[in-house]
Amino acid sequence: MVDKKLAGAGLRGQSAGETALCTVGKTGSGLTYCGYDVKDLADNATFEEVAYLLFNGELPNSAQLQEYKASLFIQRDLPQALKEVLKLIPADAHPMDVMRTGCSFLGNLEPETDFSKQQQAANRLLAAFPAIMCFWYRYSHDGVEIDCVTDEESIGGHFLKLLRGETPSEQHRRVIDVSLILYAEHEFNASTFTARVCASTLSDMYSCITGAIGSLRGPLHGGANEAAMDMIQKFKSPEDAKVQMAGMLARKEKIMGFGHAIYRESDPRNVIIKEWSEKLAHEHGDTSLYDISVACEEYMWDTKKLFCNADFFHASAYHFMGIPTKLFTPIFVCSRLTGWAAHVMEQRSNNRIIRPSADYIGSEPRKVMPINQR
C-alpha cells in the first residue's frame, strides 16, 4: 500500500500525538491493532478478544478471555431508570441520538467517580450498548419491552437476539462479529480525536464517549453506511447505478461509502466485508443489491479512482441480515467504543490538554461603537 500524500485543511497530514493502538495506511500494512493485521484478527479472533487486546495491549489466553466475557455477560442489563428514559424517546428519533442519550444518562446513574474506574466504565458501556439500542428500537417501533438479557455468549450474537427475539444463525453471529472487529479501531479519526480532546481536559469516560458518538453520527464519518444503503436501494440495476452515479458526480455530490481521509488506493476492511456480503447475498436468495454494489465499486474506481471504504459493503451485508438501516451506525458505536475507550485511557496515561492554535483571518482591531451609531 502506498502512503497517501496528506496536506491541507482538516489537520490532514499533521501528527497530533502518539499511539500504540493502531496503524492506518502505513506502507506494507493496511490496518493493524497493537501490531496485529486486521485480516488476521478478522479470520482468527473474536470481537471480545479484540476488545481485550485494545484495552490490555495483548491478546488474552483462554482463561483471561473466559473471565472477561463472563464479566461483560453479567453487565448487559439496563437500570430501570434508563429504560424509562429510552421509552420516552420517539420512534422517529435518530438512533445515534438515542445512543448519545443512553450513554450520557448511564453516566448519570453510574458515574466514573475517578480514573481507577475507567476500565469498569468502558466494560459497562460495551456490555450495555446493544441493549440501549435494541430496547429503544423494539419499544418505539414494535411496542415491545424486551428482556435486555440473552443467553448469547458473544456481544454480536446478543445484539442479534435482542433485535430479532430469536436465536441467530452461526453465519450471522460470525458476520456481525467480524464487522465489530473491522470497525473497532482506526487511529486518530474524527470521533476518536473527539474522545481524546475531551479526555485531555480530564473529563470523565461517559463525556468522552458521548462526544465521540456525536462525531461518528455525521455522514462523512460513521453515518456513511446508512447513507450508502439509502443510495443503493434507489438503484434499479447495475446499469441504472452507473447512470445515476454519473449524474451525482456531475452534480458534485459525495458518493457515500467511497474515499478515505488516509487510505489512498483501497481500504483493507472492504475486501473482508465484501466477501461476507456476497455470501449473505446468496443465502438471502436475491443477489441484486450485491450486484448493484459491485457495479458501484467498479464505476467509482474506473471514473474517479475512488474505492469503497469500510462502510460501503457493510450496507448490503447488514441489509441481508435483516438489520434495519437506521441501526447501522449504532452498531458501529458498539464496536468503535473499544477504540475510543482505549484512546481515552492512552491519552490519560500521558496527558497534556489538547489545545491547538488558529490562524486569525478576521477584522483588524476596532472599537465598540455606541449601539445607536451602528
Ligand X SMILES: O=C([O-])CC(=O)C(=O)O
What is the set of active-site residues?
Answer: 260, 311
In the list ligand ACO, ligand X, none, the entry touching 206 (Cβ below 5 to 8 angstroms by class) is: none
**Residues numbered 290-319 forming contacts with ligand X, rule: CB under 6 A:** 309-310
Contact 54, 34 (CB under 8 A): yes
Nearer to ligand X, 158 or 186 (CB): 186
Under rule CB under 6 A, how many of the chain's residues touch ligand ACO?
A: 16
256 binding ligand ACO? (CB under 6 A): yes
Q: Could you tell me the smallest distance in angstroms from the CB atom of residue 193 to ligand ACO?
A: 12
Q: Which residues contact 205 (CB under 8 A, 6 or more apart)?
A: 107, 112, 118, 121, 122, 125, 341, 344
Count of C-beta atoms within a 10 Å radius of residue 68: 18
- Residue 37: strand, helix, or coil: strand
**Residues numbered 120-159 forming contacts with ligand X, rule: CB under 6 A:** none
DSSP class of residue 325? Answer: G
Return d(Cα 53, Cα 34) in angstroms, integer: 7
Q: Could you tell me the smallest distance in angstroms from the CB atom of residue 200 to ligand ACO?
A: 22
Q: Which stretch binds ligand ACO (CB under 6 A): 131-139, 217-225, 284-292, 361-369?
A: 217-225
In the list ligand ACO, ligand X, none, the entry touching 256 (Cβ below 5 to 8 angstroms by class) is: ligand ACO
Q: Which stretch binds ligand ACO (CB under 6 A): 73-81, 96-104, 113-121, 305-313?
A: 305-313
Considering only 99, 126, 255, 342, the residue that binds ligand ACO (CB under 6 A) is 255
Alpha helices in 9-154 (DSSP H): 38-44, 47-56, 62-73, 80-88, 95-109, 118-142
Query: Quick one: cell of 182?
Result: 473491522
In the list ligand ACO, ligand X, none, the entry touching 258 (Cβ below 5 to 8 angstroms by class) is: ligand ACO
Residue nearest to ligand ACO (CB): 259
268 binding ligand ACO? (CB under 6 A): no
Considering only 100, 196, 260, 343, the residue that binds ligand ACO (CB under 6 A) is 260
Largest CA distance in the chain: 76
Q: Which residues contact 88 (CB under 8 A, 6 or more apart)?
A: none
Q: Which long-range contacts (CB under 8 A, 24 or more apart) does 239-247 make?
A: 239/295, 241/292, 241/295, 241/296, 241/299, 242/295, 242/299, 245/296, 245/299, 245/300, 246/299, 246/303
- Residue 44: strand, helix, or coil: helix
Q: Which stretch binds ligand ACO (CB under 6 A): 13-21, 110-118, 215-223, 316-324?
A: 215-223
305 binding ligand ACO? (CB under 6 A): no
335 binding ligand X? (CB under 6 A): no
Binding residues for ligand ACO (CB under 6 A): 220-222, 224, 254-261, 306, 309-311
